[in-house]
Amino acid sequence: MTGTADAEVVCLGESMVTFLPSRPGPLADVPSFDRTIGGAESNVACALAAAGHRVRWVSRVGADGFGDHLVRSVAAYGVDTSGVRRDPHRPTGIYFRTATDRATDAHEVVYYRAGSAASAMSPDNMAPEDLRSGALLHLSGITAALSDDCLALMRALTARTPGRPLVSFDVNHRPNLWRDPSGVRVLLDLARGADLVFVGEDEAAAAWDLHGAEAIRAALPEPRTLVIKRGAAGATVYTREPETTALGTAGAPPATPVTPASSAYGHDSAHGREAEYGHEAEYGHEAEYGRDTVVSVPALRVDVVAPVGAGDAFAAGFLSATLRGLPAAARLRHGHLMAAAALTVPGDLGAPPARADADRLAGLDARAWGRLRLGPGWTEATEQEVRTP
């Protein structure tokens, strides 16, 4: 797709041509690879577009065959690629990886992205009209690590200036991409400038020596919404009610924050009792920046094919539910469902479930949600085939 008016979401960042191994094992022993695409922000863009949203991906690629493939592949998901610029002097980035979990010692990733077209992104060569063309701008910490110019662009986009869109930021701490140890401080500063932040409990511990959701929120009081991914334990969202309604001062899309009143998705409890929507502790949290409502939702049981791309998919599911104005607990559940779609395919991108199916699964009671188990092919199943206890 080459152009859409009034995008709901703009995603900025590098995407690369990805080579997946034809069989498990070290890269040295893999005889062949399958070509696909991968990149944190373009993954989010593709997942959101596949879920029915109007999305624009903004980036730079080389004037080469890999760039052609990348733009065509992203556009095939329904993403507007009119904001992608071609660089005649720098190549499109590529990378190779093993089929193992990124968290294990056996996992290997080899990047060929130094000096790539995307690493040349800067405040001077990225069009403001592209970056500000949506209600929500999604960024990640990976972009900041690519070059000094990219970092300058990220600082400009996370500066709290009047009229900017709602800024979503996924920390995405990648230690091997940073040229010096200051990257961890940079990521914290960028997160503080965002309106909505995604961070893993494990990466907050590794990057900032912060342990537990309360410590992370204390270090990041500025974002209106903070989503803490806790792996197999699920996810927690801190939501501070906006000072204004509808689009608000930061250009936020319509959203329905969970308030102390009961809702169809669960009942608030000042003591963290189990909610009807799931095993969700939902309670008020007083802070200098205002009152937080805190909701936790357990993760799904998933038969994992490949773990790569789940974090990006979770962000897409959460953002999709946010754009639809769903309550906080529903946003987390849709994040888990989209992550399950990515976990049950070999590549970075899994086809999301149909919206009606996702809404049905997200609306299960706590016990049924806890018993739900999803495996390969589940997003293509009919309502009867996805068994819900």
* Residues designated catalytic: 312
Compute the distance between CA of residue 242 and CA of residue 245 in angstroms, rounded to an integer: 7
Contacts by 72-76, CB closer than 8 A, 24 or more apart: 73/36, 73/37, 74/15, 74/37, 74/42, 74/45, 74/46, 75/1, 75/2
* 225 burial type by CB count under 10 A (0-12 exposed, 13-18 middle, 19+ buried): buried
DSSP state of 126: S
Sign for the CA dihedral angle at 109, 318, 229, 383 comes to negative
> Which contiguous run of DSSP H or E holds residue 49?
helix 40-50
User: How many Cα atoms occupy the beta-carbon half-sphere of 199 within 13 Å?
Assistant: 34
Q: What is the largest CA-CA distance in the chain?
A: 59
- Find how far residue 183's CA is from the centre of its chain: 20
